[in-house]
Amino acid sequence: MTGSGAQTRPTLSIVVPIWNEEAVIPELYRRVVAIMDQTGESWELVCVNDGSSDRSLELLLDLHARDPRVKVLDFSRNFGHQIAITAGTDFAQGDAVIVMDADLQDPPETVLRMIEQWRAGYEVVYARRISRLGETKFKLLTAGLFYRLLQRITDIHIPLDTGDFRLMDRRVVLAMRHLREQHRFMRGLSSWVGFRQIGIEYERAERFAGETKYPLRKMIKLATSAITGFSYVPLQLATYLGFGMATLSLLGILVTIILRLSGNNFFLGQATTLVSVLFLGGVQLIFLGIIGEYLGRIYDEVKGRPLYIVSRAYGFIPDESHAIPRSVILPAEPPNHAHVPHEKQAT
Ligand code: UDP
Ligand code: MG
C-alpha cells in the first residue's frame, strides 16, 4: 500500500468500476471534482481497473499522481462489473460510499441529492431511473420485464428500475463485506442487508463516450445470477408443473378407460404419442438445465475461490478492509514499475 500514515478517512467515497473507459476518464474526473468540491467534505474517488486493455490504467495512475484523492485498485484480470464494485466498496473508507458507473450515465449531480437524504438519516439511498436516454428499445423492454419478474419471484424487496447507482452508509458497507458469494447481484444484496432505505428519481443519461460493456450475453448472466441468488421459484416450477402434468395424465387414463369400456373404438394416433413424448422430454431437459444453473453456482461457492485478485493498490491506507475474506490483495512493489495494459478480451 502506498500513501503516508498521516492520512485520515475521508467522509465520502465514490466507487467507480472501470473496464476500457479511456474515453471517459478525464471527463469523469472533471465532473466528480466539480460536484464533490461542492459538498465541502473530504472525499476519495476509488477507481477499480477491471483488467482494461486500453490506456485506462495509465490515465488513472496519472490522476492518482496529480491528485491523491484518486485511488486505484488494479485487478489481475477482468473479473466483471459486480466484482469490481465489490472490491471498490471493500476498500472505500468514507462514512458514505457512492457507487456509480464510469460512463457518466449516472449523473454525478444526482450524488448531491443522495447526500442530502443520507444527512437526513437514510442509510441506503438508491437511484431509480424514470427515463433512460440512448438505450435500445430492446434493452428498455427486457430490463423492464426483468425487474418486474424479479419483484414477483423473490422474497426480498428489490426496488423496480434501480441499478447499482446508490449511496450506502459505512455501516451498510461494513455489513455488505460479510456477503461473499461469487455470483453477485449487488443491488439485491444491498436490499437484503436492510437498513433505512429510500429511493430518489433521476434521468439516466446517455453514455458519455465509448460503448456499452454489457452485451446481451452478460445481461442474461447477470439476470440469471439475480434470480438464482434470490429465488427458488425456478426450481419449484418443476414441482408445480409435475403435479399439473400428472393430474392431466391421470384424467387422460380415466377418460381412455371409460371410452374403451363403453365400446368406443378409441385410438390415439402415433403423432399424438410422439408429440407428447417429445414435449415431456423438452420440459425435463429445461428443468435439468435449471437445476444445473443452481448446481454450477453451488460448485463455485464450494470451491471458495477469492472473488478477485488485486495485483496492485494505489493510495489506500491499511484498515480493516484488508482483512476481507475471499479476496487476494498482493503487497506493494518497488516504484518505477512499468504498467502495460492487459491482453484484449472479447466483450
Ligand atoms: N464494467 C466493468 N467490468 C466489466 C464490464 C463493465 O468494470 O466487465 C464497468 C464499466 O466500465 C462501467 C460500468 O461497469 O463503468 C457499467 O458498464 P456499462 O456502462 O458498459 O453498462 P451499461 O450502462 O451499458 O449497462
Ligand atoms: Mg453505462
Judged against a pLDDT cut of 60, whether residue 2 lies above it is answered with no
Q: How far apart are CA 51 and CA 77, in angstroms?
A: 4
108 lines ligand 1 (CB under 6 A): no
List, for residues 108-119, the tens digit of each pLDDT value: 889 999 999 999
pLDDT digits (tens, 9 = 90+) for 176-185: 999 999 999 9
Alpha-carbon distance of 32 to 16, in angstroms, equals 11
Indicate which ligand has the atom closest to the C-alpha of 85. 1
Of ligand 1's atoms, which has the minimum distance to the CA of residue 16? 15
Whether residue 217 has its Cβ less than 6 Å from ligand 1: no
| Secondary structure class of 174 (helix, strand, coil) | helix
d(CA 74, CA 47): 8
Residue 131 confidence (pLDDT) above 80: no
If pLDDT is split at 50, 70 and 90, which confidence band does 168 have?
very high
CA distance 127 to 205: 13
Query: How crowded is residue 275: how many other Cβ atoms within 10 Å of its Cβ?
Result: 11
For position 291, what pLDDT does the model report? 94
What pLDDT does 1 receive? 42
Tell me the pTM.
0.85
Over the range 212-224, which residues count as b (16 or more CB within 10 Å of their CB) and which as e? ebeeeeeeeebbb
Q: Which string of DSSP letters, residue by residue, matches 143-173?
A: HHHHHHHHHHH-SS---TTEEEEEEEEHHHH
What is the pLDDT, as a whole number, of residue 151?
Answer: 84
Which numeric CATH code is attached to 12-231+305-329? 3.90.550.10
Q: What is the pLDDT of residue 4?
A: 43
Looking at all shown ligands, the one closest to residue 346's CA atom is 1
pLDDT of residue 220: 87
Structural contact between residues 14 and 111, judged by C-beta atoms closer than 8 angstroms: yes
5 confidence band (pLDDT: 50, 70, 90): very low
Residue 113, pLDDT score: 93
Cα–Cα dist 58/74, whole Å: 11
pLDDT value at position 343?
A: 83
> Sorting pLDDT into bands at 50, 70 and 90, what band is 162?
confident
Q: What is the pLDDT of residue 66?
A: 95
Contact residues for 135 (Cβ-Cβ < 8 A; gap 6+): 204
Q: How far is the CA of 103 from the centre of ligand 2 (A)?
A: 5
Supply the pLDDT for residue 337. Answer: 66
164 lines ligand 1 (CB under 6 A): no
- Dump strand ranges (E) for 149-298: 162-169, 197-204
Question: Using one digit for the tens of pLDDT, what is the confidence trace for 42-69?
Answer: 999 999 999 999 999 999 999 999 999 9
Pocket-testing residue among 129, 214, 217, ligand 1, by greatest number of atoms within 8 A of Cβ:
214
State in Å: Cα 294 to ligand 2 middle: 28
* 193 vs 259 pLDDT, higher one: 193
pLDDT in the model for residue 259: 83
Residue range 196-225: average pLDDT? 86
Question: Would you say how long the chain is, in residues?
Answer: 347
What is the Cα–Cα distance from 336 to 347, expressed in whole angstroms?
Answer: 31
Helical residues (DSSP H) of 21-80, grouped into ranges: 25-39, 56-66
- Ligand 1 centroid – CA 76 distance (Å): 17
Q: Give pLDDT tens digits for 269-322.
A: 777 788 888 888 888 899 999 999 999 999 999 999 999 999 989 988 766 555
Average pLDDT rounded to a whole number, residues 137-147? 83
How high is the pLDDT of residue 347?
A: 62
Say which residues have a Cβ less than 8 Å from residue 285's Cβ, sequence separation at least 6: none
- As a whole number of angstroms, the distance between CA 326 and CA 304 comes to 7
